[in-house]
Each structure stands twice: as C-alpha cells, then as structure tokens.
Amino acid sequence: MSKISEIEAYILGREITSAQWASLMVLVKVTTSDGKVGWGETVSALRAEAVINFVKKINKVLKGSDVFNVEKNRLEWYKHDFNLTISLESTTALSAVDIASWDIIGKELGAPLYKLLGGKTRDKILVYANGWYQNCVTPEDFAEKAKEVIKKGYKALKFDPFGSNFTYITKRGLDLAEKRVRAVREAVGDDVDILIEHHGRFNVDSAIAIAKRLEKYNPLFMEEPVHPEDIEGLKKYRLNTGLKIALGERIINKNQALYFMKEGLVDYLQIDLYRIGGVTESKKVVSIAEAFDVLMAFHNAQGPILNAVTLHMDAYIPNFLIQESFYDWFPQWKKDLIYDGTPIENGYAIIPEKPGIGIDVNEKMIDELKVKGEEYFNPEEPVWVVKGTWKD
Ligand SMILES: O=C(O)[C@H](O)[C@@H](O)[C@H](O)[C@H](O)CO
Ligand SMILES: [Mg+2]
C-alpha cells in the first residue's frame, strides 16, 4: 500500500509579473512510504500563508493513509475540518493534496492521468489567451497586444476592459471599455473569439448596460458580470441580456455549482481544480454540468502544475468548450520549474503523456524560489487584475 508519509507546502515566487496573484504559487509535495512523490498546486491570492497552514493540518489527518483512497481521504478531512465546503483556504489546501495524490496514482500505475479519467475525447486542447494585456490602458495598447496574441496562433483571447470601475460603471468608463473592445475586435477580426472578463465587480444595472453596449462585438461569453454573491442580480442579468454567462472560478463545492446550473444562471462553467477539491471533486461537477448541457471552460490562472492537471481533465470530458491559459505569459520561472513541459502550439495545448500529471518538477529550483516573509501587496491595484490595467 502506498501510504502518505509526508505532505509539504511552499510559497514560491520571484518577481511581480503579469499580476501579483500570478507571481506566487503554493507548491504542495506529497511523498509516500515507498518514496513516490506527487506534486500539487494551489491558490496564492492573499491567502498563501493561510493555505500553507491548512496543508499542515491535512498532513496531520492524512499521514499514513493510502494515497489511492482519494474519496476516503477527502471524507476524512471533511469529517475533521467541519468547514471544508465553506472555507476557500481549506478547499484549496485539500485540492492541492488531491492533485498530488492523482499524480502519484498515475505514476504508480504507469499511466498519464487522462487515461485514468476516461481517455482522449480530443487530441489537443483549444485554449484562449489571458494575461497578455499587461499595462494596456489605451485602446491602441490593447489592439497592439491583441495582434501579438493572434500572431502566436491563438483563436481566442480574454481581457478585462473596465479599468478601475467597481460596482458602478461610469459613462466614461463604459465609453472607454467599448473603445478598448472595439479596438481588439478590429485588430483580431471576426474569426477570433473575444471573451469579456468583469472579475465579478459590477452591480447588475452596470452589468446590463455593459452587455447592451458590447453585444455588437459578439463576445463568446461574459465572465462573472456581477458580484459573485449577487444571485438576484445574476437572475436579472439573465432576464435582460442574451449573452452567454461564464462563471465558476470562485465556486468551492459541487452543491454551489449545482445551484447555478439548476437555476439556469450559467452557460459555461469555470470551476478550478485548485478551489473545488482537485481532480476528485471536479470529475463530479463535470458530470452534473453534462446533465444540464453546460460546457466546461476551466479557470486556470495560477501555475504550471495546475495548468498541466487541468489539461488532463480537458482531454477526456465530453462537454468541453475552451481552456483558459496564461502559459505564454507566465513568468519564466514557472515554465522552468516544469522544464517548459506544456507548451502552446498554434492556439492549442498538448496533453502531457508521461505517467501521472505528466510533467517533471525541477526540484533544484525550489529552494531558490521559496518566498520568505509576507506576500507582496500593492495597495494601488487589486491583486486580481492583470498588472498595470487598473487605470482609466
Ligand atoms: O478568469 C481569471 O483568470 C481570473 O479571474 C483571474 O483574472 C484572476 O485575476 C485570478 O484568478 C485571481 O486569483
Ligand atoms: Mg475570471
């Protein structure tokens, strides 16, 4: 039996790049009694230290457990934690341990993760670019950077054109957002999909005004148009607009996901393996989504291990729309950490084929990348924006 002998977690980072949250990652290492190692990764947005503490608690609960028993191990933590399904810190810590466990399981069985999940429904993964618009302020800035994205072969790109507008969008803010979107649409042409990111920061009347102004540019979807807890607003948005709604990156349990689908409030579900419980829980949500004809567009905005494991989910699921990718805009150390193991080719990601998650971690880099002290914080710009875009 492959018993879990040690679960470790480190905050890794170097310089602040495309955004603060993208400049850190929490790396989780699971080691078994027979020396097998699995890698997981989880959230860092202002919670890195808290998540590390939860991983230490999970280590206490799961040490000695069989790494293959992913359901039992989850239930064991659920039994002890009492708040697993309502605590982001707890669910992200467990998610990383779950991802690392599946990495070991694949290595033990000599199979890439997608083969354990359901094989290949697609041979490569259509991706959309994010992170490409760092420091873009004017419409010309956005157009110029968008052209570079298309030159790399991407067929879709996402961006947040709303600057520092929050809750209520001003007329000036709406005019400038439209100019930015129009500039991108003109730069990329009609055959490339543009996806609008709101970062869940508007009241519903602003979100509806935005939809009415931007629908002529035919966005593939409108992501998190209203504040994430504003269910009544989302219902009103659904009644007043015809655009597709994408959401889910903040969902931390399958019951929340079910609610949005049961109420018809989501077209494209963006759960993230690092928030909802890793591979084990994501598999369940994918099946619920399939039953509601909801397509998957996994959120994937952290680091290279999370990116790789998400590609295995994309490989097998029947209800796939498109995959988010920051890969080409990762700080170099994130690519070097996995020997640049999951490159994007002409707008598609290649599915890793080696056993487990299918990437190798450059362990020699870990010590040098360990962040000492407090996470970086910039009071001028929220942690979740692409750096240098909280401007009008
Ligand atoms: O859709 C996305 O990729 C996310 O909204 C990112 O833009 C966030 O900034 C990040 O997830 C914060 O942790
Ligand atoms: Mg988002």
Q: How far apart are CA 221 and CA 246, in angstroms?
A: 6
Instruction: Give me the half-sphere count of Cα atoms (radius 13 Å) on the Cβ side of residue 137.
Output: 6
Q: Give me the catalytic one of 198, 227, 299, 312.
A: 299
CA–centroid distance, 137 to ligand 2, in Å, is 19
Q: pTM for the whole thing?
A: 0.97
Residue 198 among the catalytic residues: no
Mutate to test the pocket of ligand 1, among 23, 89, 272, 384 (most ligand atoms within 8 A of CB): 384
Q: How far apart are CA 157 and CA 196, in angstroms?
A: 9
| Residue 33: count of CB within 10 angstroms of its CB | 14
Which ligand 1 atom minimizes the distance to the CA of 197?
Answer: 1
Query: Mutual orientation of helices 254-262 and 278-291 as an angle, nearest 10°?
Result: 20
Q: For strand 156-159 and strand 193-197, is the pairing parallel, antiparallel, or unpaired? A: parallel
Could you tell me which of 18, 25, 19, 13 has the C-alpha nearest to residue 304? Answer: 25
| Angstrom distances, CA of residue 46 to CA of 281, 375, 385 | 24, 7, 13
Residue nearest atom 8 of ligand 1, based on CA coordinates = 384
Q: Locate 391 and state its tokens.
A: 């401007």
Which ligand 1 atom minimizes the distance to the CA of 270?
Answer: 1
What lines the ligand 1 site, CB under 6 Å?
21, 45, 130, 197, 199, 249, 299, 301, 324, 384
Mean per-residue pLDDT pooled into runs of 10, the chain (392 residues) = 94 77 89 97 84 96 98 98 95 98 98 98 98 97 98 98 98 98 98 98 98 98 98 98 98 98 98 97 98 98 96 98 96 95 97 97 94 76 92 90
Q: Do residues 34 and 46 make contact, with C-beta atoms less than 8 angstroms apart? A: no
Which ligand 1 atom minimizes the distance to the CA of 21?
Answer: 13
Q: How far apart are CA 91 and CA 166, in angstroms?
A: 28
- 3-state DSSP assignment of residue 158: strand
Could you tell me which of 99, 105, 104, 8 has the C-alpha nearest to residue 58? Answer: 8
Please name each of the domains of the chain with its CATH number. Answer: 4-111 (3.30.390.10), 115-361 (3.20.20.120)
Q: Strand ranges (DSSP E) for 257-347?
A: 268-269, 295-296, 323-325, 344-345
CA–centroid distance, 159 to ligand 2, in Å, is 9
ipTM: 0.97
Q: For strand 295-296 and strand 268-269, is the pairing parallel, antiparallel, or unpaired? A: parallel
Segment 171-179 long-range contacts (CB within 8 Å, at least 24 positions apart)? 172/392, 173/392, 174/209, 174/210, 174/213, 176/139, 176/392, 177/210, 177/213, 177/214, 178/213, 178/214, 179/139
- 3-state DSSP assignment of residue 212: helix
Amino acid at 6: E
Residue nearest atom 12 of ligand 1, based on CA coordinates = 384
CA–centroid distance, 65 to ligand 2, in Å, is 35
What is the distance of C-alpha 384 from the center of its chain?
A: 12
Residue nearest atom 4 of ligand 1, based on CA coordinates = 301
pLDDT at position 45 is: 72
Amino acid at 308: A
Residue 199 among the catalytic residues: yes
Mutate to test the pocket of ligand 1, among 88, 132, 199 (most ligand atoms within 8 A of CB): 199
pLDDT at position 377 is: 73
Reported as a single tens digit per residue, the pLDDT across 299-309 is 999 999 999 99
Which ligand 1 atom minimizes the distance to the CA of 223?
Answer: 1
CA–centroid distance, 78 to ligand 1, in Å, is 27
pLDDT at position 4 is: 98
pLDDT at position 24 is: 85
Q: How far apart are CA 82 and CA 392, in angstroms?
A: 44
Residue nearest atom 1 of ligand 1, based on CA coordinates = 299
Mutate to test the pocket of ligand 1, among 16, 18, 20, 21 (most ligand atoms within 8 A of CB): 21
Q: How far apart are CA 248 and CA 245, in angstroms?
A: 10
pLDDT at position 44 is: 65
